[in-house]
Structures are given as structure tokens and as C-alpha cells.
């Protein structure tokens, strides 16, 4: 009887560890970038691409006055946001795509300040982020109210634990109607944490994962529009907000 119980416990332990391993592997795989054209990381006649240990930069030859700094979502491979950052740069906007240490959005949000990316006072600085990257973008704006000129929050219920209600900078929040990670109900619930002037924009049919180029994220819902349409609508909103 004792041997039988021991074998059952051993089997259950094996199943549990196997399930955890499979779950972790699937999570890691789903957060890898997918479908990113390598040509987007190459120079051409209008854009110079640079890569360092801290960021990708996309520098237009005809650089305007705006600079956008983008924070990836937690655990998502930074490269998953290269397509939208490159397309923003195609509009004469210099873009820095930050590489968060260990892919943890909470660990690298002060990198732009440490790297003095906001040093040129003649520029207009826009800080943007997706998911927990947006949470940390809001945190950065909260801690450094005089360093950025505009804030874009994508696919997030944040700010939740801090309030930007008294902020005087223009803020836009973009979210998807089918987002299962940052659902519309929670987003609206935290509306009071942002200024009354905040622009809330819903993309119908959009989910959480398709704001980047990576796999399907646990807890998300299926989108009813494809990734290209969701990306195109997001890009259009960002550019209009920057240029307004």
C-alpha cells in the first residue's frame, strides 16, 4: 500500500513538473517575435538603423522635431515592435525602441533618462509603450513630468496605482475591443487616473497580442481583424496624435 501511494505521488509530481515545463516553454515561445521582416533592420536612403545593447534606433535622414521612445511589453522580444517603430520613423520621426533588461518592463524604464535621450530641448518627446511597457511609460511620466511632451498608452489598464489626473501633457490611450489582457471594462474603470483631456481610442476587433509581432498571449482573446489592419490603425492613430 505504501509503495502504491509513493508511486502515485511520484506520478503526480512528474505530471506537475512536466506541465510547468510545457507552460513555461509555451510562454517563452509565444513571446518571441514572429513575422518581422529583416529588411526593417537595414539602412536605406531614408532611414539609418542602429542597434546597441540598450535600444534599436531608427533615424530619418530628414529628421523632424519629434522623437518617440517606445517601451515593449513585459517578456515580449523587443524585435516584435520593430515594424511599427520603423513605420513611425518613415514619417521623419526619430524612434528609440528600448531593450528592457531581461525583457522586464519594470526594470528598464529609466534607461531613456540614464542614456540622456531627452537631452535636446529643441525636440518634442513622445513616450509610448504597450501593455506593461505602457504601465512603465506612465510611471516614467509620473516621476519625470518635465521630460516628455506627450504620452501614448497602448493595450493597458494602467495607470492604476498612480494618478496622472493632474498631468498637463497630451495623453492618448489606444485599446482593442477584443483585448483579453487589458479589457475595456478595466480600462474605463481606471479612467479617473488620467486627465479629463485624455484621448481614448478603441480599435474594433483588435486584441492584445497583435499590437506587436509575436505569438498569441495567454489570457488574450482572438482578434476579428488581422494583425496588419490592427497595426495600420494603431500607426495612423499614433501619427495623428504626434502631429496634432
Mean pLDDT of the chain: 90
Predicted model pTM: 0.88
Residues 46-99: pLDDT tens digits?
999 999 999 999 999 998 999 999 999 989 999 999 999 999 999 999 999 999
Residues 188-244: pLDDT tens digits?
999 999 999 999 999 999 999 999 999 998 899 999 999 999 999 999 999 999 998
pLDDT value at residue 163: 98
Is 80 exceeded by the pLDDT of residue 11?
A: no
Residues 6+ away with beta carbon under 8 Å from 88: 58, 68, 95, 235, 238, 239, 242
Neighbouring-strand partners of residue 127: 69, 151
- CB 230 within 8 Å of CB 206: yes
- CB 173 within 8 Å of CB 146: no
Question: Does residue 159 have a cis peptide bond before it, meaning omega lies within 30 degrees of 0?
Answer: yes
Amino acid at each position: 500500500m505504501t509503495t502504491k501511494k509513493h508511486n502515485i505521488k511520484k506520478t503526480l509530481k512528474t505530471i506537475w513538473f512536466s506541465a510547468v515545463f510545457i507552460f513555461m516553454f509555451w510562454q517563452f515561445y509565444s513571446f518571441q517575435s514572429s513575422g518581422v521582416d529583416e529588411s526593417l533592420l537595414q539602412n536605406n536612403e531614408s532611414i539609418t538603423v542602429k542597434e546597441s545593447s540598450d535600444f534599436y534606433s531608427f533615424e530619418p535622414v530628414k529628421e523632424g522635431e519629434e522623437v518617440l521612445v517606445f517601451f515593449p511589453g513585459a517578456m515580449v522580444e523587443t524585435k516584435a515592435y520593430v515594424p511599427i517603430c520603423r513605420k513611425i520613423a518613415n514619417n521623419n520621426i526619430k524612434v528609440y525602441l528600448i531593450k528592457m533588461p531581461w525583457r522586464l518592463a519594470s526594470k528598464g524604464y529609466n534607461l531613456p533618462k540614464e542614456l540622456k535621450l531627452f537631452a535636446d530641448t529643441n525636440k518634442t518627446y513622445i513616450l509610448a509603450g504597450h501593455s506593461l511597457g505602457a504601465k512603465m511609460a506612465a510611471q516614467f511620466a509620473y516621476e519625470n513630468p518635465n521630460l516628455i511632451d506627450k504620452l501614448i498608452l497602448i493595450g493597458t489598464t494602467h495607470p492604476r496605482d498612480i494618478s496622472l489626473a493632474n498631468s498637463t501633457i497630451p495623453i492618448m490611450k489606444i485599446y482593442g475591443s477584443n483585448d483579453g489582457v487589458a479589457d475595456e471594462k478595466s480600462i474605463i474603470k481606471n479612467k479617473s487616473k488620467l486627465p479629463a483631456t485624455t484621448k481614448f481610442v478603441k480599435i474594433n476587433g483588435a486584441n492584445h497580442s497583435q499590437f506587436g509581432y509575436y505569438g498569441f498571449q495567454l489570457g488574450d482573446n482572438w482578434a476579428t481583424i488581422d494583425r496588419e489592419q490592427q497595426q495600420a490603425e494603431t500607426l495612423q492613430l499614433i501619427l495623428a496624435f504626434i502631429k496634432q
